[in-house]
Amino acid sequence: WSVTDYLRRKMAEYKKVKIERGPGGWGGPLEVKPSDEKKYVVCITGGGIHPVAQKIADMTGAEPFDGFKSSPEGGFKAMACAVIDCGGTARIGVYPMKGVPTIDIHDTSPAGPLAQFIREENFVSGVGEDQITEI
């Protein structure tokens, strides 16, 4: 096997999901497909891995990561997406500002000091497990 063949096979292991806004939610839909460089579904909801983050990781082949405990190796550049539970202060805008597709489990719309970075192309809210489908 050549390095190119190995990389093609490795990249093929990741799958793409579509994440749509839930009832009362805003933004999206987002399409998330991890890669070897962006292999983490980072969960910043407190209390471990939220079921939405776990489902995205399971469906895509990404690694779920508890972002409340630490940051993944590679920081923002290693995140396929971030799952948050922010009602509209700082966290809601930090990840979109850093270029990370952001999934909020709460029904929120752009708010807070970083609202200008929150766009339909990088943010979706009101997300439950039913809003995640394989493409």
CA dist 104 and 44 (Å) reads: 10
Active site residues: 86
Integer CA distances (angstroms), 80 to 3, 23, 35, in order: 23, 24, 8
Classified as helix, coil or strand, 66 is strand
The alpha-carbon radius of gyration of the chain (Å, integer) is: 14
Token pair 């850093």 is found at: 98
Write phi, then psi, for 111 (nearest 5 degrees).
-160, 170
Q: Which two tokens stand for residue 68?
A: 């409340």
> Hey, which bits of the chain come out as E strands?
17-19, 30-32, 40-44, 63-66, 79-84, 102-104, 123-125, 132-134
